[in-house]
Structure formats: structure tokens, C-alpha cells
Amino acid sequence: MQHAANEAFSRVLIDKALEFSGWNLLDSHQVRFELNTQNGRADYLLGGQRGPLCVLEAKREDVDPYDAKEQAKGYAENVKAPFIILSNGREHWFWNYTRKDQDAYTLHEGSETTEPTPPQPSRIIPTWEGVDTLVSREITIVGPDGEKVDVMTFRGGYERDIREFVANTPELKAAVEAEDDDAVETIVNEQFYHRPTMYYSPDKLILSYGVPASTPAFVYNAVGRKPLPTRDAIVTDAVDSIAARFNLRYNEQKWLDATAQLIAEDSSSLHKFIEGDMTIFNASQFNRLGGVAALSRFDARENVFEALRQSSLVRQSLLATSLGA
């Protein structure tokens, strides 16, 4: 399948553009992913020292990002961010929507912008000028006072603080008791993760626990309601959901399961899968399923693999590989 039609691949390019422009994807004060707003879910929220700065809306590479103007404006107005970036990974549009006399304009690295022509940016994405909070290659977390914290200490602090937060937040306590995943994620994202006195974020939890789990899963584990799922359990849930959606036969589900297991375990295969590189199916585990010749008889493979690319398993696994890089 061509990776041009894949939003997940566009996000890889966008992440690289953000990093090139000085944004630290590991610091939730700078970059937040999949932020729930009253108008929907914003793909990225870029933050400045004074609060929300820019909503970035991601689209597939074969989609004109300009068409998402009004969608992104609703998110930006809700979080009070003054700027918007619309991107498909290759083409970027910048919009100061608070200026009624100015429409969105394209940003090109190393070339002139289209009319109207504002001051030329030095890079594709506005440059971060705040204070970095880093996670090192040795898998330590930088705490709120700049101290290095080992992962076990970080996990202990998180579990203590989230338990206290749940106990003192009635709406979150009710959501946890009802196991309302959407409500739990929204409340924790908006009220717990990114408060100035805290340094917790989904990115760092994935790194410290070594599991590409969701925010509700980390919360349920901390309060003793449910154990944190293993990587294998997360893979199985994703496979079962997609198999039911497409009514897969036994052999087809085995192909999906083998693919999901591979990309969850191997970051190189994960990136190849996102890009639509079929060479990953030369791996030995696929020989037991009949190899590439048998894959050609999997009629629904393109739709099934696209569903896997868009799954939370791939999104979380991709985030985990970028943290551990």
C-alpha cells in the first residue's frame, strides 16, 4: 500500500519537522498529542511559556491540509491558541486566525512563501524558545526541579500522585469507578498531566513502564482497579477488534496477529510497516503462514493493514520507539 495515503506516516514527517525546529516531543509543556477539546480532538498542541501557542492539524499526504482550516480553528479557539498549522507532512500552512486580514499561507523550507508574504520563518515550524525537559538515553526522567529520576522512582511518584488526585477529584473518581475511558482520559489530560507543578505525561509513562498502554490503563493500574495490560494483551486486543470489524477468517487473523506482534516488538519493522514497505513480510514468522505468496490471497489485506496503522497500538508503539531512541 502506498504510504502517501497514510496519516500515520504524515505524523512521522511532522514529528521530524517539529524536532528540526527545536521542539522537544518528550516535554508535554511543549508538545501535547491527541488533545481532547469541546470541539473534537486536536492532533498536536504546541505550548509556549505563556500557555497554548499553536494547534497543529495532521492530514494524510494525499489530502490538501488547507481544507482543514475551519476544523482546526474550532480546536484553537477552544484552547485559546492564537496560531494554527495545517500539515500533511510535506506541505505546511500557517495561519494566525486572529488576524482577520490574513489567510493561511504555505511554509516552504528554504523557499519563498506564497502571497500574502509575512516575515519569512527560519524553519518550517515556529521555533521553541522555552525550557526543555528531557528524557535521557539512560531512561531517566528529569523532574520538576531539574533532578534526574530513575524510572522506578518516577513510577512510584506517579502512582502516589494519581491516587491522591483521583481521591480529591470527584468527577474523575466517578469516571474511574464506572471505567469510563473517555472521561478518564479527558480529565487526566486537562487537569493532571500538564499542570506546572507536575512533570507526568503519557510519553514518560510509556517509557518508564515499557508498555504502550493508554492513559486510562495507567490510571486503573495505579488505583488498583485493573492490572496494567502486557504488550501481548494490547496486541491481542487490537487484533481481535480489527478481526471482528472485517470478519476475518482464521488464516487471515493469523496474518494480522503475526504482523501486529512484529511491529510491536521491532521498531524498524514498525516504521517499515507505516511506510507500506512490504519487505517486512519476508521475516521468518511469515514463512509458517505460507510467505508472501499466501499474503497475496488475503483479499482484505490493504484495508486490514490500514486499520492496524491507524490503531492505538501503532500510535503508542511509535511514540514509545521515539522516546527510547
Report d(CA 15, CA 33) in Å as an integer: 11
Q: What is the strand order of the sheet 105-107 is part of?
A: 31-37, 40-48, 51-58, 83-87, 92-95, 105-107
End-to-end CA distance of the chain: 27
Write out the E strands in 123-260. Answer: 140-142, 148-150
Tens digits of pLDDT across the chain (325 residues): 444 346 778 888 888 888 888 888 888 788 888 888 777 889 999 987 677 889 999 998 888 898 899 999 999 888 888 899 999 888 899 998 888 777 888 765 443 433 333 333 334 455 544 544 433 334 455 555 555 556 777 788 889 999 999 999 999 999 999 999 999 999 998 889 866 555 788 878 887 888 889 999 999 999 999 999 988 899 999 999 999 999 999 999 999 999 999 998 888 899 999 998 989 998 888 888 888 888 888 999 999 999 999 998 898 888 766 554 4
Report d(CA 250, CA 197) in Å as an integer: 50
Q: Report the relative pairing of strands 105-107 and 92-95 from DSSP bridges.
A: antiparallel
- pTM listed for this prediction: 0.52
Q: Clarify whether residues 278 and 208 are in a common domain.
A: no
Sign of torsion, CA 193 188 160 312? negative
Q: Clarify whether residues 175 and 247 are in a common domain.
A: no
Q: Clarify whether residues 216 and 246 are in a common domain.
A: no
- 133 found inside a domain: no
Domain count, the chain: 3
Among candidate residues 166, 190, 222, the one where a domain is terminated:
222
Among candidate residues 189, 222, 255, the one where a domain is terminated:
222
Q: Which helix (H) or strand (E) holds 227?
A: none
Among candidate residues 58, 83, 107, the one where a domain is terminated:
107
Q: Clarify whether residues 237 and 177 are in a common domain.
A: no
- 155 found inside a domain: yes
- 48 found inside a domain: yes
- 247 found inside a domain: yes
Can you give the residue range of the structural domain that contains 248? 231-324
